[in-house]
Structure 1
Amino acid sequence: MPEITFVRGDATAPSGQGPKSIAHVCNDLGGWGKGFVLARSRRRPEPERAYRAWHRDRAHNDFGLGAVQLVQVDPRTWVADMVGRRGIRTGGKGVPVRYEAIDTALTCLAAHALDLGARVPMPRMGRGLAGGEWSRVEPLVTERLTGRGTAVTVHDLDDRAGN
């Protein structure tokens, strides 16, 4: 069974051969303007356009907490937009991260990754703008992805390992 590999680097440009699905957590408001998604948009515009269209047409699709949209950006690379945040700000109702939604989305992503034989690069999801803790997301990644045979690489841009 593969384990999660932690590396210093940019998850928007993972190295290595073979198919990959770059996973990250989005909000349920259609907002795309801070954090990891900006770095994604600087590399490729397709995921942002697809996410905005997915949100705009949400009355007629599955957009919502726990949903996943896979956007192919080259022949061997997909971006997995996983809706795992309620809103965009921490407030009276707590932090935006929704662990149960991330869990649901990871289950869908696992099926995609297994079908393609893809590995899954990602930032340390659920923290930062989402306001959550990696210590709560990591077991979900382990159970849903590495536990089913999918290789996962978590990319950290800085020295903040915990949280």
Structure 2
Amino acid sequence: MAETITYLRGDATAPRGKGPRVIAHVCNDLGGWGKGFVLALSRRWPEPEAAYRRWHRERSRNDFALGALQLVQVTPHLWVANMIGQRGTRTARSTGVPVRYEAIDAALARLAPEARRLGASVHMPRIGCGLAGGKWERIEPLITARLTDQGIPVTVYDHG
């Protein structure tokens, strides 16, 4: 049965509700972790950053690339989903935006069976829309198609 996205004001690093939960967010493909939502994650748990940096460092031997997904367990019933959905980072000289919608779509497609296996709901900020420069009108339909239409509950948190 299809779900709809729930929108709440609050902190995506403190997902509401009962049962297993996954916090999904977008990472870049450069191994950089130091701006935006990842800082809030790192203030709560060291494991997602350490796992992401290790994943990037060992990328010649794993699946680290645009569209990839890494699930990192941080408590008995909570995981962080590092999703590679951003090509590089924004710099003063860069033109265009780092977000890659097709990579976010691919990572969400990989997340769906994992969330189902865990019996988990998915929680996130407006992924791809901060430093990645994406537009929510393009990302929301991907979340609907890959997660909520598959019966996976999703909560999106707006800070404030």
Give the 5 Å matches for 1:1-163.
1-89=2-90, 91-92=94-95, 94-158=96-160
Query: What amino acid sits opposite 1:78 in the alignment?
Result: W
Give the number of equivalent residue pairs: 157
Q: CA RMSD in A?
A: 0.8
Determine the C-alpha separation between the residues in 2 that align with 1:87 and 1:48.
17
TM-score, normalisation: structure 1: 0.94
For structure 1, list consecutive stretches of 5 or more residues without a partner in the other structure.
159-163
What is the Cα deviation at residue 88 of structure 1? 0.7
Q: Secondary structure at the match of 1:97?
A: coil
For structure 2, list consecutive stretches of 5 or more residues without a partner in the other structure.
none
Determine the C-alpha separation between the residues in 2 that align with 1:73 and 1:116.
14
What is the Cα deviation at residue 3 of structure 1? 0.3
TM-score, normalisation: structure 2: 0.96
Q: Secondary structure at the match of 2:131?
A: helix
What is the Cα deviation at residue 118 of structure 1? 0.4
What is the Cα deviation at residue 126 of structure 1? 1.0
Structure 2 residue aligned with 1:161: none
Percentage identity across paired residues of the two chains:
68
Q: Secondary structure at the match of 1:49?
A: helix
Query: What amino acid sits opposite 2:20 in the alignment?
Result: P
Determine the C-alpha separation between the residues in 2 that align with 1:59 and 1:73.
26
After the TM superposition, list the runs of 4 or more consecutive aligned residues in structure 1 that deviate by more than 4 angstroms. Answer: none
What is the Cα deviation at residue 79 of structure 1? 0.3
What is the Cα deviation at residue 10 of structure 1? 0.3
Q: Secondary structure at the match of 2:24?
A: strand
What is the Cα deviation at residue 17 of structure 1? 1.1
What is the Cα deviation at residue 104 of structure 1? 0.3
Determine the C-alpha separation between the residues in 2 that align with 1:99 and 1:44.
27
Determine the C-alpha separation between the residues in 2 that align with 1:128 and 1:78.
22
What is the Cα deviation at residue 80 of structure 1? 0.2
What is the Cα deviation at residue 16 of structure 1? 1.6
